[in-house]
Amino acid sequence: MKAGKWIKALRCAGFLCILGLLLVFSGKILREKSGEFLSTDAERAVAEGCDVLFLGPSTVMNAVYPLELWHEFGISAYNCGTGSQSLLTSYYLIKELLKKEEPKLIVLDCGKARSKRSIVKIGYLHYITDILPLLSPERLQMIRACADDRKYTLDETSGLLLPVLAYHGRWADVSSKDLAADIKKVTYGAKVDVRTHTDVVPFQDYEASPDAALPAMAETCLRKIIELASDRGIGLLLVTMPNMMQAYDVDQKEYELRVDSAAALQKVADEYGTGHLNLIKEGEAIGLIPDEDTADGQHLNNRGASKFTRFIGGYIREHYEVPDHTAESAYAHLNGKYEAFEAYINGRTAKTA
């Protein structure tokens, strides 16, 4: 090939690389910023050696503060919860996170085990896929599995594959907030809510049906997660989070579905010998006060999350072999991270006082 043609080819390749980088960068700026998204720091934190990973929907995202786990128990952890994270998306997210480091324990909130679909709304899938590396096989597999189940349109699928296509209409709304640092880096993936819900409407007592079963997709994904953890020699703790009162999207019927789902999940856990903490009726038993510790009737506020974090930390310390890194210099930076997190919490609560 003549020199002139080589130069043209290099220019073309350079242009395409620059265009690709601009598209990726634009997507990061334009994507909607929300506490429901996976932390942009999650993969880096896992690669640095977190011993415990928390995954699942918003109920665990709002309930576990990893830096308080560090302060209280010397446990290095990260919260990889996202809004409405389904078992299918948890499965592929776990596969992605395990590419860089293997934790000692995965704690999985199975609140979405009752769902018959891969995910409820496409926006919930963006919470994860917009953050993962664009060409990650696990990301692409997650999108394909959800697209096959939900029958997404070409535009919807294209927007998932290349986020800038989903958010191109936001240019007029871009502000300094879109350039701000991801606050979930400060919280180590947790979402902090300082509101207090006091309108307590309790559930009628309900015992699970003996015939309770998980939807086919949920059970398949649950089994894949259990087998993946087992094959990699990683501990797995399944959790069904407390439900203490009726809330904006949890009525008596939904509560009964959750009770049945937890019972069905227990059967699968027993089959594999996997731990399952069914806390659906145990909120007050572990110290949560209905009219003080929730933000909206379902999600824990900062007081409730601190209580739950101490509870789950104590349970992990008692039942799993997770190291205490308190005295290790390699983890000393977490002391500064905790101080920054504590300052953030104090700042949030001061504004509501």
Nearest partner of 77 among 322, 341, 344, 346, judged by Cα: 322
Q: Report how far residue 262's alpha carbon sits from residue 214's, in angstroms, rounded to the nearest whole number.
A: 9
Q: What is the largest CA-CA distance in the chain?
A: 81
Predicted local confidence at residue 352, as pLDDT: 76
**For the chain, which ranges sit under pLDDT 70?**
1-31, 168-181, 353
Q: Report how far residue 83's alpha carbon sits from residue 127's, in angstroms, rounded to the nearest whole number.
A: 7
* pLDDT tens digits, one per residue of 7-48: 665 555 554 455 444 444 544 555 677 889 999 999 998 888
Stated pTM of the model: 0.92
DSSP SS3 for 142: helix
DSSP type of residue 202 = P
Torsion of CA 43, 45, 48, 50, to 10 degrees: -110
Tokens 């509870």 -> residue: 311
Q: What are the phi and psi torsion angles at 158 (to 5°)?
A: -60, -40
The DSSP result for 229-291, as a single string, is HHHHT-EEEEEE----S-BTTB-HHHHHHHHHHHHHHHHHHHHHT-EEEE-TT-TGGGT--TT
Tokens 């429901």 -> residue: 36
- Radius of gyration, CA atoms only, the chain: 21
DSSP type of residue 170 = G
Predicted local confidence at residue 169, as pLDDT: 58
DSSP type of residue 172 = G
What are the distances in angstroms from CA 121 to CA 141, 147, 242?
A: 18, 11, 24
The helix, strand and coil proportions of the chain, stated in percent and rounded to the nearest 5, come to 55, 5, 40
For the record, the structure tokens of 289 come out as 């006060």
Report how far apart the first and last C-alpha atoms of the chain are (Å, whole number).
72
* pLDDT tens digits, one per residue of 222-247: 999 999 999 999 999 999 999 999 99
Q: What is the CATH number of domain 37-352?
A: 3.40.50.1110
Task: Give the sign of the dihedral formed by CA 125, CA 126, CA 128, CA 129.
Answer: positive
DSSP SS3 for 77: strand
Q: Report how far residue 242's alpha carbon sits from residue 255's, in angstroms, rounded to the nearest whole number.
A: 11
Q: Which of left, alpha, beta for 272 (phi over 0: left; psi -120 to 50: alpha)? A: alpha
Predicted local confidence at residue 113, as pLDDT: 96
Q: Domain residues of the chain, as ranges?
A: 37-352
For the record, the structure tokens of 234 come out as 């990683």
Q: What are the phi and psi torsion angles at 77 (to 5°)?
A: -145, 165
Predicted local confidence at residue 318, as pLDDT: 97
Nearest partner of 132 among 181, 76, 86, 92, judged by Cα: 92
What are the distances in angstroms from CA 345 to CA 158, 183, 320?
A: 38, 12, 29
Q: Report how far residue 61's alpha carbon sits from residue 249's, in angstroms, rounded to the nearest whole number.
A: 17
Predicted local confidence at residue 22, as pLDDT: 46
Tokens 């992990």 -> residue: 316
